[in-house]
Chains A and B, each alone.
Chain A
Amino acid sequence: MNEAKKIVLAEDNSVLSLLLKFRLEKEGYKLLIAKDGKEALELIEQFDPELILTDIMMPFVSGLEVISHVRNKLISQTPIIVFSSAGQEEIVLKAFDLGATDFMSKPFSPHELVIRVKRLLQ
Chain B
Amino acid sequence: MNEYNFILQYFNQFPLIIKVVWITSVILMTNVFILIIYLRYLRNKLRVKSSLESKCQMYFESSLITYLYSGNEEEDFSIEQKKIIKELKGVTSEAFKRKVLIATLLKLRNEITGEIADSIDKLYIELGLLQYPLSKLRHKKWDVIANAIRELTLFQVKGIQSVVMKNINHPKKEVRKEMQLYLVQLFTFKGLEFLNLLQTPLSEWDQIQLLEILQKSDDQDITDIKPWLKSTNESVVSFALKLARLYNQYEVKDEIIALLNHKNELIRVNAIESLNHLNVLEAKVVLKSNFIETSLDEQIAFVKMLENTYESSDKFFLLDYRNHENQEIKLIIMEIMKNLNFEEYYLYDTELFEDITNKKTTA
Contacts and interface: CB of A to CB of B under 8 A. Distances in A.
Contacts of A18: 61-62, 65
A18 B112 CA distance: 13
B113 interface: yes
Interface string A80-122: 0000000000000000000000000011111110000000000
Contacts of B117: 107
Nearest to B108: A15
- Point out which of A13, A15, A111 has the most chain B C-beta atoms below 10 A from its C-beta: A15
A13 B65 contact: no
Interface in B52-93: 57, 61-62, 64-65, 68-69
B114 A111 contact: yes
Contact of B65 (A19, A107, A111, A112): A19
Contacts, number: 49
A107 B115 contact: no
B114 A109 contact: yes
Contact of A108 (B57, B62, B108, B112): B112
The number of chain B residues touching the other chain, given as a range, is 10 to 19
A72 interface: no
Contacts of A112: 114
Nearest to A106: B111
A53 to B, nearest CB: 13
Interface in B252-276: none
Nearest to A111: B114
Contact of A16 (B57, B62, B112, B114): B112
Given A19-B65, A19-B116, 4 more contacts: A14-B57, A16-B112, A19-B68, A107-B112
28 contacts: A13-B107, A13-B111, A14-B57, A15-B61, A15-B65, A15-B104, A16-B107, A16-B108, A16-B111, A16-B112, A19-B68, A19-B112, A19-B116, A22-B65, A26-B69, A106-B110, A106-B111, A107-B111, A107-B112, A107-B117, A108-B111, A108-B112, A108-B113, A109-B113, A109-B114, A110-B114, A111-B114, A112-B114
Interface of B: 57, 61-62, 64-65, 68-69, 104, 107-108, 110-117
